[in-house]
Amino acid sequence: MGRVSKRIVSKEFQEQLEEQLSFIVLSLNNKSEISVFLGAFLTKEEKIMLGKRLILYMLLSKGWTSSKIHDTLSMSYETIRWYKQIFENKPNVFKKTVQKLIVREKGKEFWRKLEKLLEPAGLVLEAKHNMKARAKLAGGDFWQS
Domain coordinates in residue numbering, the chain? 29-90, 91-145
Residue 66 has pLDDT above 50, yes or no: yes
Across the chain, what does the average pLDDT equal? 84
pTM greater than 0.75: no
Given a cut of 50, whether residue 145 has pLDDT beyond it is no
pLDDT for the residue 112: 72
Q: How far, in Å, CA of 57 to CA of 52, rounded? A: 9
Residue 9 has a pLDDT of: 84
- Rounded to whole angstroms, the Cα distance separating 61 from 92 reads 12
| Average pLDDT of the residues in 31-47 | 91
Tens of pLDDT, residues 71-115: 888 889 999 999 999 999 999 999 999 999 888 888 787 667 766
Q: What single-letter DSSP state applies at residue 142?
A: G
Side-chain half-sphere exposure of 47, counting CA atoms within 13 A: 10
Distance of alpha carbon 90 from alpha carbon 92, whole angstroms: 7
Question: Residue 35: exposed, middle, or buried by beta-carbon count in 10 A (0-12, 13-18, 19+)?
Answer: exposed
Would you say residue 134 has pLDDT above 90? no
Q: How confident is the model at residue 122 (pLDDT cuts 50, 70, 90)?
A: low
The mean pLDDT of 54-70, rounded to a whole number, is 91
